[in-house]
C-alpha cells in the first residue's frame, strides 16, 4: 500500500503498446508526432518524453516553449513542433532551442525570419491551414501564397504543411469538407513544384476515422495514452481491448462512519441521507483534479464495488456510499480512474458524469498528485 493520500499510477508498458499499435495502424512509411501537451495529458511530461524516445516516436508536439524546453532537458536532437502560435517575444528562444514553429500568416513569417537572421540561424516552420477549426491557420485560398512567401524568406526552412480536424470523432460530413479543402491545398502546392517534407492532418480521431488524410505524418494524443476519443463515430473493431489506458487515479479511505436517515452531507447539504447509511470519507477532491462537476453523479471504486459520490466534492475530500462494501476500512485504496477487482471506471466515463471530455479529466489532475511509474524505467 502506498503512503500517498492521492496519486496517479502510470503504466509505461501500456504506453509502449499503444504507440506500437498506432505504428502498426499507420504503417512504416508514416511518421508519428506524439502530442505531449499539458504535462503529457497529465501523465508527466519528462517521464513520458523519455519513454517515447525509447519507444520510437519521431516528433514531439507541444503547446508552448516551456514544454519544448522540458523535452530538451530529457534528450537533445528530437524534432519538436510548437502547435500553438509563437508570440513575437518568444521567437528568439524558439530559434535558440531549435523548436519548429507553426505559421498562420505572412506577418509571423516576416518577424520569425528577421529574428532568425539576427541570430545567424535557420528556423524550421510548418504552415498551418485553417480548414474549419478557426483558431490558427491561413485560409485555404491564401495557403499557396503563404507557402511561397515562407520559401522566399532567408533563414526560414519550410518543413511542414498541416491542418487540424475540429470534430473527426463526431461529424463525418464536416470532416469530409475539411479533408477536401486540405487536399486541394496540398495539390496546389505540389502543382507549383514545391516539395514539403511533412504533410499532416490526422489527430487521434483522424487516425481512427480519416485514413484518406494520413499523408506522411500523424499527430496522436489521446490514443497514445490509451483512451479512445468519445463521439458518434466509434471504431468498428474492439479498439477498447487493443489499447490500454496508461493512467489510474487513486486515493485512500480516511474515515468510515454510520449515519442516520435525514443526515445532511457536505457543503450546501445537497444530499440528505434517505436511510441509515455507511459513508466513507476519501482523500481526494477537486484540488487533486477530481472535478467538482461530478458531485452527486460520479462514483468511485471502493472495496471492489462502485460507490456513489454523496453531496458536493470538496477541495481535498469526497464522501461516498459504502453501505454495500461492508469490509471497507480506514487506509483502504479507492479508485477514481482505473480498475479495482472486476470493476473499472474509465476517464471517458468520469468525463461523462462531469459533463466534459476525457482530455479535461486527465489534464485536470493537479501538480500535488504524485505520479508513480510502473512497468519500466522513465528518466
Number of C-beta neighbours around residue 139 at 10 A: 14
E strand spans, the chain: 6-11, 31-35, 59-62, 80-85, 100-103, 123-128, 156-162, 198-200, 217-218, 247-259, 264-265, 271-272, 277-282, 299-302, 305-310, 318-321, 333-340, 343-345, 371-374
Which of 37, 128, 181, 250 is labelled catalytic? 37
Of 177, 207, 210, 292, the C-alpha closest to 23 is 207
Whole-angstrom Cα distance, residue 136 to residue 298? Answer: 35
Dihedral sign for Cα atoms in the order 185, 84, 33, 72: positive
- Own/partner pairs, 320-329, CB within 8 angstroms, 24+ separation: 320/279, 320/280, 320/282, 321/277, 321/278, 321/279, 322/256, 322/278, 322/279, 322/280, 323/277, 323/278, 325/278, 325/280, 326/278, 327/303, 328/253, 328/256, 328/278, 328/280, 328/302, 328/303, 329/253, 329/256
Whole-angstrom Cα distance, residue 132 to residue 232? Answer: 19
Query: Is 267 a catalytic site residue?
Result: yes
Which of 96, 261, 267, 329 is labelled catalytic? 267
- Four-CA torsion 321, 326, 327, 333, nearest 10 degrees: -10
Please, are residues 184 and 161 in contact by the beta-carbon 8 Å criterion?
Answer: no
| Catalytic residue ranges | 37, 267
Amino acid at each position: 500500500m502506498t503512503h500517498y493520500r492521492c496519486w496517479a499510477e502510470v503504466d509505461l508498458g501500456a504506453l509502449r503498446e499503444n504507440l506500437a499499435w498506432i505504428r502498426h495502424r499507420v504503417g512504416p512509411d508514416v511518421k508519428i508526432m506524439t502530442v505531449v501537451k499539458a504535462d503529457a495529458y497529465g501523465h508527466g511530461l519528462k517521464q513520458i518524453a523519455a519513454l517515447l524516445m525509447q519507444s520510437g516516436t519521431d516528433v514531439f508536439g507541444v503547446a508552448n516553449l516551456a514544454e519544448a524546453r522540458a523535452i530538451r532537458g530529457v534528450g537533445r536532437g528530437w524534432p519538436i513542433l510548437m502547435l500553438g502560435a509563437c508570440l513575437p517575444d518568444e521567437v528568439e528562444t524558439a530559434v535558440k532551442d531549435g523548436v519548429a514553429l507553426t505559421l498562420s500568416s505572412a506577418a509571423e513569417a516576416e518577424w520569425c525570419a528577421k529574428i532568425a537572421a539576427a541570430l545567424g540561424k535557420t528556423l524550421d516552420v510548418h504552415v498551418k491551414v485553417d480548414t474549419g477549426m478557426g483558431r490558427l491557420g491561413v485560409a485555404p485560398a491564401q495557403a499557396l501564397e503563404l507557402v511561397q512567401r515562407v520559401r522566399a524568406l532567408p533563414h526560414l526552412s519550410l518543413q511542414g504543411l498541416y491542418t487540424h480536424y475540429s470534430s473527426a470523432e463526431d461529424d463525418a460530413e464536416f470532416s469530409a469538407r475539411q479533408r477536401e479543402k486540405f487536399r486541394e491545398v496540398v495539390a496546389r502546392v505540389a502543382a507549383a513544384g514545391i516539395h514539403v517534407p511533412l504533410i499532416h492532418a490526422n489527430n487521434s480521431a483522424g487516425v481512427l476515422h480519416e485514413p484518406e488524410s494520413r499523408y506522411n505524418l500523424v499527430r496522436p494524443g489521446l490514443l497514445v495514452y490509451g483512451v479512445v476519443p468519445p463521439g458518434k463515430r466509434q471504431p468498428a473493431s474492439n479498439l477498447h481491448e487493443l489499447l490500454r489506458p496508461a493512467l489510474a487515479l487513486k486515493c485512500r479511505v480516511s474515515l468510515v462512519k454510520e449515519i442516520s436517515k435525514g443526515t445532511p452531507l457536505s457543503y450546501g447539504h445537497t444530499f440528505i441521507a434517505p436511510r441509515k447509511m455507511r459513508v466513507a470519507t476519501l482523500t481526494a477532491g477537486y484540488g487533486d483534479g477530481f472535478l467538482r462537476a461530478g458531485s452527486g453523479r460520479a462514483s468511485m471504486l471502493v472495496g471492489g464495488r462502485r460507490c456513489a459520490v454523496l453531496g458536493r466534492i470538496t477541495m481535498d475530500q469526497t464522501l461516498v456510499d459504502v453501505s454495500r462494501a461492508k469490509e471497507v476500512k480506514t487506509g483502504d485504496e479507492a479508485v477514481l480512474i482505473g480498475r479495482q477487482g472486476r470493476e473499472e471506471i474509465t476517464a471517458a466515463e468520469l468525463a461523462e458524469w462531469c459533463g466534459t471530455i476525457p482530455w479535461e479529466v486527465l489534464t485536470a489532475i493537479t501538480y500535488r498528485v504524485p505520479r508513480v511509474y510502473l512497468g519500466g524505467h522513465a528518466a
